[in-house]
Structures are given as C-alpha cells and as structure tokens.
C-alpha cells in the first residue's frame, strides 16, 4: 500500500480572474501527469484566493481603535491588517500580545482570520480566505474531471498554527469529491472492543501531507495525491469543524 | 518533486520484549523494500510501547475517588483507565463530561495521557506511551541503519484529537535523525517581506501523512517515507512541544 504525493511543477504566479483549473490542467499536461479517478488534488488556498480576487488593499483600510491597540501590542503587525482581521472575525478566541486567534468563515479557528500578507505579489495587497472553499474545490474537481475524464477529489488547504505545538501544518478548509472523515465508530478492534472515538480527519492529514511539498518559496501550491484509499461517501470541509457545543476549548 | 509513503506489510503482532527493529527489518526485506539514506520511517507508538513492555493491567489498578468520578461523568470510560490517566498526568488541561485532556510526559497535551485501550491483544491490558520516544526512535534508526547501511530518520507517532476540529490525526512524539521543524524565519517572501512566523512542523506533517496508511484495523503500524527533503539539522520530538509561557491555550 503506497501513497504518492507529487508537487505540480511550473505553475505560474496566479492573478485575479485567472482560470485556475485551466492553469493546473496545463501544468499537469506539460509534466505528463495524467490524473485518474481516485486521485486527490490538494491546492493551497493562496492561489485559490488570488484567482478568485479575494484581495484587500491595505492603503484603502482605515484601522479602528481596537486594531490600533492590537498592532501596538504586537511585535510585527500592521494595524490595517489587524483591522481586516477584525472585520473577518465572528468571535475572538484569544487576543493577547498582539496575537489574534479568531473564529472566521463557517467556523475555522486560526490566527489572523487566515489573512495572508506574504507572497501576494504586491506589498499593498493581502489575501483573504476563499469565500466558499467547498465551492472552489467543486469547481476545480469538475473542470479537471472534464479535462482528464476522471473523478478526482479536491482539498483546499491552509497553513495554521496549533495550540500546544510548535510550528505550522496544513489543514483542509474546502473539500469536494471525498469524505473528509474516516469514521470507524461502531467497528471493533482486534480484541473485540468497540471503537467509540475513532474518527480520522483524513482530509486534514492529506492537507498536512501535501504541505510537506508546499513550503513557502517552493512555488508548488498544488500537489496530486495518488494511491490514497478514501473512505466511502462525500463530504464538505465544514465536516471538519467541531461544533462549539462539543468543543472543550471554546 | 514527489514523496512516496509505503506501508510496510506483514508486520506480526508485537509482544513485550520483541526486537522491533529486527522485525521491521525482516518485513522490509520480505517485501524487497530497501531503505536508503534520507528515508524516514514513521512508526506508530502502539507497537513501540508494546515492544518496550509499556503495559498496565487493569485488574491490578484500584481507582481513586477522582477516577471514579471521571468515569461516572463519562459515557464509556473504565474507572481503572481513568486512574491510570491521572497517574500519568502532569497537569489537567480540561476535565469535563468524563473527558480528560492532560499534559503528560515531557509536555504532550492529549486526551487520556495517550493511554490506549484498543488493539492491545488482551482486554485486561492498556498501553502507556513510550517512556522516551526520542530514544525509541534513535534505537530504531541505529539498528535499521546498521541493517541496511544507511542513515534514516525515524518518527514515532501517536493519534490525537485537536481543539476546534473534528477527527483524529497523527502527531510526532519521538524524532531521530531529522530536524522536526523547517524554520524559514528571517527568509523573505517573493515581495521582499520578511517571514516572521514561518516554522513548519514537518515531523507532525510526516506523522499525519503516514497516518493515512495506519488506520485502526489496517495492521500497518510502520510507514516508510521516500523523497522527503528534510530541513538541515537534527532535533527531538520535544522541539514540537510549545512552552507553556508562549502558549495562548494553557
């Protein structure tokens, strides 16, 4: 049993309005990589946000007093970025020493509402998370499926820190064509004990795995995964968001 | 750029005292898999703990009043397991509705102090985390390096839940022969902006990736990773533990 992760080489810088599926299809063809049914494409949110024009211009942002305070508490934070974070925040989960860990979008909890100020191609621009990364994933799956006559899964990933752990890993924010969860509850282990808590977050693990080939500066924001045996069913990136009522850390 | 993850097939059930390196080396040879320098072997803590005899017998455990209370609050918890969790706890991070999220070992924060009651091979037995998984990783790296005349990295992984997210993924608790962190701080992005926060937890991503081939019941608790380009340097599983002082969630 093997899984192969391949970074798709030669993707150009993406600009607002670009047809991301066409560009990825072209890069796949240029490199003689032919996606097949069952493959999963992991795409970094950054190029999805860029193609979808999810950009904000810092020069057009007027920071609020709270944003100014956050920036003053931070070591390296632009008050206009803090303002954009606050505008994209449902709930502040932690605000301390200029760090803003917030709930954003449908319930993602991450630093700075996922707003990304690096590698945008323009120092005045920052990237917001895609509006609906499940829809972004569905559009990519559909267009690439037509281009290569196959059914592929697509995961849109973003890079986040974690409580208690040093370092960033990639998480799945959008999912199409696969079930993001491998639910083993009700099955039994080798001793006959029923498994009560065993749901694996496969889409997050796929994102983390692909992230090994996506480090900043590598210019490989899309990775094709082959040989992964997905659990039955379909699902959404939202399936990975723990509801506040069952969350011990909200 | 490709990374290939291969589950090592044919590993037998491991028993206390087994020579895990010899068993893995045999399985690699049986399957004509020859590790080479730069490869990383990810091994699930379960078989490490078993080989190292890190087992406790439930029938020998007398639950304390607190353990009885935890079990009474839970849906499916054995008070003797709760007692073992408490005995392996440095600090309780959350205790609610029978859930125990605790700090254990050198600073791992996970449910139930990593105590594992499934697939032990004996319903009276539970597995404790390895005493020193960095040392376990070093021993495996050294023995397999001798057997195959190469320098491989080893990651010992465990499967944990996460705040805010549904589902389990694998994390690195022991590391040898690789640097678990890819530190890009001080480098610049394509717009010339300095990267301030960009440290990637590569060893956790390797564990998560390997976990895709390690689901319960699959009987593949060891995965060989080829083609991964590790960051320079060496490190320990402890490098992935965030210090309490810089942790916003302790």
Q: What is the pLDDT of residue A192?
A: 64
* In-domain check, residue A246: no
Q: Which residues contact A68 (CB under 8 A, 6 or more apart)?
A: A79, A82
DSSP state of B26: H
Residue in this structure with the two tokens 């319930």, named with its chain if needed: A107
Residues B172 and B220 in one domain: yes
C-alpha distance across the termini of chain B, in Å: 39
The fraction of chain A above a pLDDT of 70, given in percent, is 95
**Residue B190 in this model has a pLDDT that exceeds 70:** no
- Give contacts of B171 with chain A, Cβ < 8 Å: 165
Residues A144 and A233 in one domain: yes
Cα–chain center distance at B230: 19
Among residues 170-229 of chain B, which lie with CB inside 8 Å of chain A? Answer: 170-171, 180-182, 184, 187, 189-193, 195-202, 204-206, 208-209, 211-213, 215-218, 220, 228
Q: What is the pLDDT of residue A167?
A: 96
Complex confidence, ipTM? 0.96
* In-domain check, residue A225: yes
Paired residues of A158 in beta bridges: A171
* pLDDT, tens digit, 9 for 90 and up, residues B23-45: 999 999 999 999 999 999 999 99
**Residue B122 in this model has a pLDDT that exceeds 90:** no
Q: Which of the pair, A183 or B188, is modelled with greater confidence?
A: A183
Residues A136 and A43 in one domain: yes
Domain edge (last residue) among A101, A126, A151: A126
* In-domain check, residue B234: yes
Provide the number of structural domains found in chain B.
Answer: 2
Q: What is the pLDDT of residue A217?
A: 66
* pLDDT, tens digit, 9 for 90 and up, residues A38-82: 999 999 999 999 999 999 999 999 999 999 999 998 887 899 999
Residue in this structure with the two tokens 């195959």, named with its chain if needed: B148
Among residues 228-247 of chain A, which lie with CB inside 8 Å of chain B? Answer: 228, 239-242, 247
Residues B161 and B239 in one domain: yes
Distances (CA, A) of B245 to A129, B185, B238: 30, 20, 15
The verdict on a CB contact (< 8 Å) between A5 and B209 is yes
SS3 content of chain A, % helix, strand, coil (to 5): 30, 25, 45
Residues A146 and A180 in one domain: yes
Burial environment of residue B227 by CB neighbours within 10 A (0 to 12, 13 to 18, 19 or more): middle
Closest-CA residue of chain B to A123: B191
Domain edge (last residue) among A86, A109, A126: A126
- Give contacts of B50 with chain A, Cβ < 8 Å: none
For residue A246, count other CB atoms closer than 10 A to its CB: 10
Residues A83 and A138 in one domain: no
Q: Which of the pair, A142 or A98, is modelled with greater confidence?
A: A142
Residues B42 and B78 in one domain: no
Question: Alpha-carbon Rg of chain B, whole angstroms?
Answer: 19
Q: What is the pLDDT of residue B192?
A: 64
Domain carrying residue A86: 56-126
What is the side-by-side strand order in the sheet with B108-111?
B91-96, B99-104, B108-111
Taking a C-beta distance cutoff of 8 angstroms, is the pair B120, A192 a contact? no
Give the C-alpha separation, A41 to A172, whole Å: 12
* In-domain check, residue B17: yes
* In-domain check, residue A169: yes
* In-domain check, residue B9: yes
Residues B208 and B177 in one domain: yes
Q: What is the pLDDT of residue B196?
A: 65
Query: Which backbone phi and psi does B121 adopt, to 5 degrees?
Result: 95, -5
For residues A174-200, give the mean pLDDT: 82
Residues B167 and B237 in one domain: yes
* pLDDT, tens digit, 9 for 90 and up, residues B195-213: 666 899 999 999 999 999 9
Q: How far is B196 from chain A (nearest CA, A)?
A: 8
Q: How far is B140 from chain A (nearest CA, A)?
A: 22
Distances (CA, A) of B102 to A6, A52, A76, B88, B121: 37, 42, 32, 9, 26
Domain edge (last residue) among B68, B93, B126: B126
The verdict on a CB contact (< 8 Å) between A117 and B193 is yes
CATH of the domain at B92: 3.90.1660.10
Give the C-alpha separation, A8 to A10, whole Å: 7
- Give contacts of B159 with chain A, Cβ < 8 Å: 200
Residues B185 and B145 in one domain: yes
* In-domain check, residue A250: no
Q: Token digits for A228? A: 């992964």
* pLDDT, tens digit, 9 for 90 and up, residues A12-31: 999 999 999 999 999 999 99
- Give contacts of B3 with chain A, Cβ < 8 Å: 4-5, 209, 212-213
Helix (H, G, I), strand (E, B) or coil at A216: coil
**Residue A191 in this model has a pLDDT that exceeds 70:** no
- Give contacts of B10 with chain A, Cβ < 8 Å: none
For residues B235-248, give the mean pLDDT: 94
Q: What is the pLDDT of residue A20?
A: 98
B150 touches chain A (CB under 8 A): no
The verdict on a CB contact (< 8 Å) between B184 and A216 is yes
Closest-CA residue of chain A to B199: A167
Q: How far is B101 from chain A (nearest CA, A)?
A: 9
Q: What is the pLDDT of residue B75?
A: 80
The verdict on a CB contact (< 8 Å) between A204 and B167 is yes
Among residues 114-143 of chain B, which lie with CB inside 8 Å of chain A? Answer: 117-123
* pLDDT, tens digit, 9 for 90 and up, residues A81-130: 999 999 999 999 999 888 899 999 999 999 999 998 877 778 899 999 99
For residues A146-173, give the mean pLDDT: 97
Q: Where are the alpha helices (DSSP H) in chain B?
A: 20-30, 45-51, 65-73, 79-87, 133-148, 202-211
CATH of the domain at B204: 3.30.1330.100
Q: How far is A162 from chain B (nearest CA, A)?
A: 9
Closest-CA residue of chain A to B122: A191
| Best mutation target, A11, A15, A71, A166, to test chain B (most B CBs within 10 A) | A166
B73 touches chain A (CB under 8 A): no
* In-domain check, residue B250: no
Give the C-alpha separation, B28 to B46, whole Å: 19
A68 touches chain B (CB under 8 A): no
Residues A215 and A137 in one domain: yes
Residues A171 and A86 in one domain: no
* pLDDT, tens digit, 9 for 90 and up, residues B55-83: 999 999 999 999 999 999 888 789 999 99
Q: What is the pLDDT of residue B174?
A: 98
* pLDDT, tens digit, 9 for 90 and up, residues A202-248: 999 999 999 999 976 678 999 999 999 999 999 999 999 999 888 88
Query: Which backbone phi and psi does A108 adopt, to 5 degrees?
Result: -70, 135
The reply to whether the predicted model has a pTM over 0.90 is yes
| Best mutation target, B73, B153, B167, to test chain A (most A CBs within 10 A) | B167
Taking a C-beta distance cutoff of 8 angstroms, is the pair A169, A56 a contact? no
Q: What is the pLDDT of residue B2?
A: 96
**Residue B13 in this model has a pLDDT that exceeds 70:** yes
The verdict on a CB contact (< 8 Å) between A213 and B3 is yes
């Amino acid at each position: 049993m093997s899984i192969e992760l391949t970074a798709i080489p030669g993707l150009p810088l993406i600009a607002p309005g670009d047809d991301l599926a066409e560009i990825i299809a072209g890069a796949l063809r240029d490199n003689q990589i032919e996606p097949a049914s069952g493959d999963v494409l992991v795409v970094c949110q950054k190029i999805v946000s860029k193609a979808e024009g999810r950009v904000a211009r810092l020069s057009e942002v007027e920071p609020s007093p709270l944003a100014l305070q956050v920036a003053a508490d931070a070591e390296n934070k632009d008050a206009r970025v803090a303002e954009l974070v606050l505008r994209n925040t449902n709930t502040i989960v932690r605000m301390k020493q200029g760090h803003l860990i917030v709930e954003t979008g449908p319930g993602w909890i991450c630093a700075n509402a996922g707003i990304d100020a690096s590698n945008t191609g323009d120092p005045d621009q920052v990237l917001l998370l895609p509006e609906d990364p499940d829809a972004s994933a569905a559009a990519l799956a559909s267009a690439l499926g037509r281009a290569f006559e196959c059914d592929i899964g697509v995961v849109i990933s973003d890079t986040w820190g974690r409580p208690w752990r040093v370092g960033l890993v990639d998480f799945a924010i959008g999912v199409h064509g696969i079930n993001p969860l491998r639910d083993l509850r009700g099955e039994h282990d080798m001793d006959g004990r029923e498994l009560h808590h065993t749901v694996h977050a496969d889409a997050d693990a796929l994102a983390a795995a692909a992230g090994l080939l996506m480090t900043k500066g590598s210019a490989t924001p899309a990775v094709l995964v082959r040989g992964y045996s997905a659990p039955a069913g379909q699902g959404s990136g939202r399936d990975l968001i723990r509801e506040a009522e069952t969350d011990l850390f909200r």
